[in-house]
Amino acid sequence: MFTRSAEYYDMIYAALGKDYRAEASRLNLLIRRHKRSKGRRLLDVACGTGRHARELARHYQVEGLDADRKLLAIARRANPLLTFHVGDMLNFRLGGKFDVITCLFSSIGYVRTEPRLRATVKRMAGHLVPGGVLIIEPWFSTHPRTGPVRIISATECSDSVVRMSRLRRRGGLSVIEFHYLIGTPAGIQHASEQHVLGLFAHAAYKRAFREAGLPVIHDRSGLTGRGLYIGTKPL
């Protein structure tokens, strides 16, 4: 998904002011409030470059999972003491179970359809111990048919990147076009990506949790204003 931009991912979101430490601190409070199991094993699904994993490792025994091998390579370099797995959130199968599973930064939208959403939540719930907690940060439920063009620029050492993006709605999907101008001492290159995410209604998330056997609450503010769905597996 981030094949063309993986090495600039953290640079871009640092320029946008994303505060992983503050988000992890808020998550820790929520986990302590809702978790009923006694262990500290945490799996970060769709972990990307491992920035949340690194901060959460202050409090938990953290592992990460992602389908994007380039993002995982960055995560492994930055967090050599943590374990990262290659896997799709829809059908991953790990040997152990966890006290906490997180799926953050709206990555759940990449499952695209409601049946796949239900299957994914069920798969995550199946990897929880009794009393464990699942926390999902949703993508938007709806948005205008065509959004404004957004531009962000970032510079680190001798590299600079400008990202221009446009969001549009196609039925029940968000389609995001990303275009990058990447400047290095070797010259300037152009790259592009298209990301497609599902627009799931509030009721669809709640239904997915309930069908997976997880009583769920909705935290409206969440970490970044997009809310959180928090389900605890019965003891």
pLDDT, one tens digit per residue, over 59-85 is: 999 999 999 999 999 999 999 999 999
Does 125 score more than 90 pLDDT? yes
| Amino acid at residue number 152 | I
8 Å CB contact between 121 and 209? yes
Burial (Cβ within 10 Å: 0-12, 13-18, ≥19) of residue 194: exposed
> What pLDDT, on a 0 to 100 scale, did the predictor assign at position 112?
98
Q: Tell me what the mean pLDDT of segment 221-228 comes to.
A: 96
How confident is the model over 4-32, as a mean pLDDT? 96
Closest of 14, 41, 1 to residue 161, by C-alpha: 14
pLDDT band for position 225 (cuts 50, 70, 90)? very high
Token code pair at residue 118: 């239900």
Homologous superfamily in CATH for domain 6-141+200-232: Vaccinia Virus protein VP39 (3.40.50.150)
Residue 125 carries which side chain, given as an amino acid letter? A
Structure token pair of residue 109: 């939208």
Q: What is the pLDDT of residue 15?
A: 97
Homologous superfamily (CATH) for 150-198: CAC2371-like domains (2.20.130.10)
Q: Give the per-residue pLDDT at 3.
A: 80
Q: Please state whether the predicted TM-score (pTM) of the whole model is above 0.95.
A: yes
Q: Where are the domains of the chain?
A: 6-141+200-232, 150-198
- Grade residue 105 by pLDDT with cuts at 50, 70 and 90: very high
C-alpha span between 182 and 205 (Å, rounded):
37
Closest CA to 226 of 52, 106, 112: 106
| Dist CA 118 CA 120 (whole Å) | 5
Average pLDDT, the chain: 97
Tell me whether domains 6-141+200-232 and 150-198 share a fold. no
Stretch (H or E) spanning 164: strand 159-170
- Percent of the chain clearing pLDDT 90 (strictly above): 97
* Mean pLDDT, residues 148-170 taken together: 96
Residue 99: what pLDDT?
98
The pLDDT value given to residue 144? 87
